[in-house]
Structure 1
């Protein structure tokens, strides 16, 4: 929920939810946005437990959905395996292709490069 691929995954999940449970799609979209905001705050604060609880909450929500409608199991699995999971690398980072970084600093200059989120906190 804290990666750049989140928007794509959110769109895929909400689109799917809109098809299988149209009345709930708006609430799911809002809940995903709120959950992402909480996940970002937890990551800033280094609170891994809070992040884990958010993931567990969504796992529970999806489990309850397929428990209530077992026919959705294969469809949800396909959505996750074929559309959402490919957005992520095995390490959980966003797959964005290759990056070629080049930088040069002189004097007292500094170079900060990242292929992912980068947070620089001041004094």
Structure 2
């Protein structure tokens, strides 16, 4: 269950941050807030405020092309979601259904950004999925 929770939390953090800067924001915010009201009602208002503040941070970071801040925000939400799922394991299926509703084709969670710098005789190999390298 731990690996499943970690993977779902990672997907949720990535999806949430990716959708914060889109036109779907209000739908996403409402869905996540309602999810929290059902699973951890005592934290729902705090999470709603964190969502609003997080959105402002995401927009500012995206405008500045600040990938480090975006990565930190993804990790922050990943941790928040993971802690909720550990405290309320029955919420796993509900969260999975919510993520499917908010991002039906999974495109937000699959967004890949890569940066690399090579100098001298160095080589850089990057891939968005499987990569097989055979050097002779």
TM-score, with structure 2 as normaliser:
0.61
Question: Aligned residue for 1:8?
Answer: 27
Which segments of 5 or more consecutive residues in structure 2 lack a partner in the other structure?
A: 1-19, 109-136
Larger Rg, first or second structure (1 or 2): 1
Which of 24, 42, 54 does residue 61 from structure 2 map onto?
42
Which of 40, 44, 64 does residue 21 from structure 1 map onto?
40
State the 1:89 CA deviation.
6.5
Runs of at least 4 residues off by over 2 Å: none
Question: Aligned residue for 2:103?
Answer: 85
- In structure 2, relative to structure 1, the CA distance for the partners of 1:89 and 1:21 (3 Å cut) is closer
Aligned: 1:69 with 2:82 = no
State the 1:85 CA deviation.
1.3
Question: Superposition RMSD on alpha carbons, in Å?
Answer: 1.5
Question: Aligned residue for 2:52?
Answer: 33
Larger RCO, structures 1/2 (Cα 8 Å, 6+ apart): 2
Which segments of 5 or more consecutive residues in structure 1 lack a partner in the other structure?
A: 93-123
Aligned: 1:59 with 2:82 = no
TM-score, with structure 1 as normaliser:
0.67
Q: Secondary structure at the match of 2:103?
A: helix
Count of residue correspondences: 89
